[in-house]
Amino acid sequence: MAMAHRIGGIPLATVQRLPIYLKVLREMRRAGRQIVSSAALAHLLRLDPVQVRKDFGRLGQAGRPRIGFAIAALIGAIEARLDWGRVNAAVLLGAGHLGQALLGYQGFALHGLEITAAFDPSPRVAGRRLHGIPIHPLEDLEARLPALGARMAILATSPWAAQETAERLALAGIEGIWNFTGEILTLPPRVLVQDQDIAIGLAVLSSRLCTRVGGAPPLSA
Amino acid sequence: MAMAHRIGGIPLATVQRLPIYLKVLREMRRAGRQIVSSAALAHLLRLDPVQVRKDFGRLGQAGRPRIGFAIAALIGAIEARLDWGRVNAAVLLGAGHLGQALLGYQGFALHGLEITAAFDPSPRVAGRRLHGIPIHPLEDLEARLPALGARMAILATSPWAAQETAERLALAGIEGIWNFTGEILTLPPRVLVQDQDIAIGLAVLSSRLCTRVGGAPPLSA
DNA sequence: TCGTGTGAATGTTTTCACAGCT
DNA sequence: AGCTGTGAAAACATTCACACGA
């Protein structure tokens, strides 16, 4: 009833570690290094070496005993799996504070993502350009989307516009929605929704802070 | 070797669902509703009713057969567990695009968080006010922190300043760091670090998009 | 009958233990 | 020695099945 626990034959938990591996491996490659052991990577990322080897094994990457893993091959395998080797177009919905922050985020280039256009209902921002990306009026969404070649939309509207905008995106043929609004979206299962709710991270941190010292008892009303 | 799987006696997976429950429950309370069944909640959130009951049970909340759960009591228990019932002070590090977006985020009030000050190294923003919150020069950090009463810091600096800034926060006595930089921080275990790396969410979405149709084979180099 | 509570079964992820290669 | 690969075991989470209460 909950989530898909396997993506293209690879456990979800592994997929979630891939971007972290990729980041460190790219840094090593830039530093001229060619080989790395699972133990070295595990130490850097505070993981178990066996887990690193299993993850790489699931990507079809074999290491060589006494030597380690080839960094270039690992990078290639991870990029292929995440589709981060080339550039994919995406559109941004909502150019408020969060939307503008996402427009300015340099890291997307490293993740094979390029925002090619943004849409916003407010006449104050629509028509302008931010970080070189044109902001169109929201009403132009359906008309412009086909020409933009975007499979993915980044939803950063206000909470109350989230569901309606998502429905328009779904109808317009978008395949995946990266949902920053914190709202629960109800869409046909054809559309993939990935929630990016910062409240979850805050909940984990504040509950850990709260239970660490003055903490709540393990069980009580 | 990886993460703590239990927080104050409650499974991490449960804690991660608490903010979503809370959001829906608060909406119901605002609508005047007093009772809810696990089935109704589960349907709304696309979860299993049994899982909802188990989660509430772990919070010490018992439902009444044929009736359901008392909404007010659930809200109280979740708020207590997350420490979201009252307002906690936090400081923001880095007032760039992301930092400003976080300053403007209205939702923190609902999560018991109030940013009382921000710090930025750039003389262009330091000294100004944004969304009513003063931006101080980064060099004033240690001098001002004690008076602010913040246990938590929100780290939204540039990646290359992340580790250094985090170390200063740790030395200055901050207990928890909510890390938006995507960098891996190395700090004494006394300091709790909660990573909020958007690359992970993107990895899950793009790998699902990628393997859904043209998809990569289950196993290959 | 409707809804909760819970022990048992299933599935997933991590950790252990050890064999093999160089 | 040092490092990989993997089956087995353990820990964890979800789902099933059913007893109980109003």
Q: What is the pLDDT of residue B1?
A: 65
Closest CA in chain B for residue A45: B184
* Distance separating alpha carbons of residues B20 and A129, to the nearest angstrom: 35
Residue B78 contacts residue B25 (beta carbons within 8 Å): yes
User: Which residues, other chains included, contact A98 with Cβ-Cβ below 8 Å and sequence gap of 6+?
Assistant: A156, A180, B101, B105
State the DSSP H helix or E strand holding residue A193, giving kind and residue range, or none if neither: strand A192-195
Length of chain B: 221
Q: Do B221 and A184 touch (CB under 8 A)?
A: no
**Best CA proximity match to B91, nearest among B169, B192, B162, B198:** B169
Count the Cβ atoms, other than its own, within 10 Å of residue B19: 24
Neighbour-count burial of A111, counting CB atoms closer than 10 A to its CB (0-12 exposed, 13-18 middle, 19+ buried): buried
From the list B42, B98, B201, the residue facing A196 with the nearest CB is B201
pLDDT tens-digit series, residues B85-143? 999 999 999 999 899 999 999 899 999 999 999 999 999 999 999 999 999 999 999 99
Provide the pLDDT confidence category of residue B218 given band limits of 50, 70 and 90.
Answer: very low
Distances (CA, A) of B24 to A183, B77, B85, B215: 10, 14, 16, 36
Q: Is B77 on the interface with A (CB under 8 A)?
A: yes
Distances (CA, A) of A128 to A18, A91, A133, A165: 36, 16, 9, 21
pLDDT for the residue numbered B98: 93
Residue B216 near residue B207 (C-beta atoms within 8 A): no
Q: Which of A7, A9, A111 sits opposite B208 (nearest CB)?
A: A7
Q: Collect all residues of chain A within an 8 Å Cβ-Cβ radius of residue B194.
A: 201-202, 204-205, 208
A213 pLDDT band, cuts 50/70/90, is: low
Residue A211's pLDDT is 87
Note the CA–C1' distance, B46 to D17, in angstroms: 21
Tell me what pLDDT residue A1 has.
Answer: 67
pLDDT of res. A218: 36
Confidence category of residue B52, pLDDT binned at 50, 70, 90: very high
pLDDT at A7: 94
Tell me if B163 sits within 8 A of B181, measured CB to CB. no
Q: How far is B96 from chain A (nearest CA, A)?
A: 8
Do the Cβ atoms of A201 and B196 come within 8 Å?
A: yes
Give me the pLDDT at residue B220, please.
32
Average pLDDT of the segment spanning A30-46? 97
Strand D closer than 7 Å to the CB of A56? yes
Residue B113: the pLDDT is 97
pLDDT at residue B216 greater than cutoff 80: no
List Cβ neighbours of B37 (8 Å cut-off, separation of 6 or more): B49, B63, B68, B69
Tell which residue, B116, B167, B176, has the closest CA to residue B142.
B167
Instruction: Provide the mean pLDDT of chain B.
Output: 93
What is the per-residue pLDDT for B171?
97
Query: Does A209 contact B1 at a Cβ distance shorter than 8 Å?
Result: no
Per-residue model confidence as pLDDT tens digits over B131-189: 999 999 999 999 999 999 999 999 999 999 999 999 999 999 999 999 999 999 999 99
Q: Crossing angle for the helix pair B49-58 and B12-30, nearest 10 degrees?
A: 100
